[in-house]
Amino acid sequence: MGMTFSSAYVPSALCCPSRASILTGKYPHNHHVVNNTLEGNCSSKSWQKIQEPNTFPAILRSMCGYQTFFAGKYLNEYGAPDAGGLEHVPLGWSYWYALEKNSKYYNYTLSINGKARKHGENYSVDYLTDVLANISLGFLDYKSNSEPFFMMISTPAPHSPWTAAPQYQKTFQNVFAPRNKNFNIHGTNKHWLIRQAKTPMTNSSIQFLDNAFRKRWQTLLSVDDLVEKLVKRLEFNGELNNTYIFYTSDNGYHTGQFSLPIDKRQLYEFDIKVPLLVRGPGIKPNQTSKMLVANIDLGPTILDIAGYNLNKTQMDGMSLLPILQCFPDCVCEDAYNNTYACVRTMSARWNLQYCEFDDQEVFVEVYNLTADPDQITNIAKSIDPELLGKMNYRLMMLQSCSGPTCRTPGVFDPG
């Protein structure tokens, strides 16, 4: 129902730095979250003071009048006692349902607008993906209809410990991790971290990573359920056609490539490339864009949708809205050098258009619409140089004219 970005990447293939990039629209060297620890600025006091007030949800709330909703995993150290605990609700969120620290499916604690709520291990009331779905559906029903809304639903799935819902635990029994060309081979001429992997992997390691791959897929079936419920609720409420939906992840994952059993963090495609699918108003269905994009572009895109001037931010990314709302096979039709001036000359003998571009080429286009009404042939290089000079003179006169002088911008054809 929209656009798939086939070249979407993260600047850091690790949870907290990548999530910080999504929220701030900045590269890690500018938001200074370097790993998943408080010392690495993950949900630290410094992050809360310097970066949280400038995240795109904070701007949506304070400058664009949006009601903002968060549910799920925030940053890995969120809720740490040394960083304000679960009482801390980041600036910019009207409704806050955040997971304490890292990914879990059962036996976790949520911050409900700053108040702790513990959950156990009863599937019907505690399975986190379903809990997030129900909280989100509730918001869609009780939110204000007088303000636009933004929702960020951050499921831990398919993060470890890969605990699938009971009804999905026997699915994908014949699914295995992809056997790419780089599967279970030695990482020759690579960094020592990669070179230290044992090749070939043991059978037990391969069985483990296949099982991990399978379980990750199983957990995503509940995410599919969540997405379906939200789309249907938006449709039922009459809001689907006026809502943009983004689906993405904070990092990729490897399962056996270069004999690395399971993890992320590395510089290779399997760790830095992520899914990105977008649907919404003005986006044609069944499109694929090969444009190189990054998660730092998400914040600017959403602010652009909200009508906020991106020049007022310090974000590193750029808006993808022009790409999203472009029809298939479209081309860029505007740029800093798309500045031109034209003069039109019509008489009994002539129907000429003369145009100059104000760019490094000083490119000239001339058309004789009497002979070429579809403007297929640019005659700038074949027309009589004297005629070309006259049109250039008329153009210069028009560009500097004022009042009465605009009415007689040089005589072109005395006849």
User: What residues are annotated to the active site?
Assistant: 15
Contacts 24+ apart (CB under 8 A), 323-329: 323/3, 323/289, 323/291, 323/293, 324/2, 324/3, 324/278, 324/280, 324/282, 324/283, 325/282, 325/283, 327/284, 328/284, 328/287
For residue 254, the cross-strand partners are 263
Inter-axis angle of helices 128-142 and 203-236, to 10 degrees? Answer: 20
Calpha distance 50→91 (Å, rounded): 11
Place of tokens 């009589």: 384
Phi and psi dihedrals of 4, rounded to 5?
-105, 130
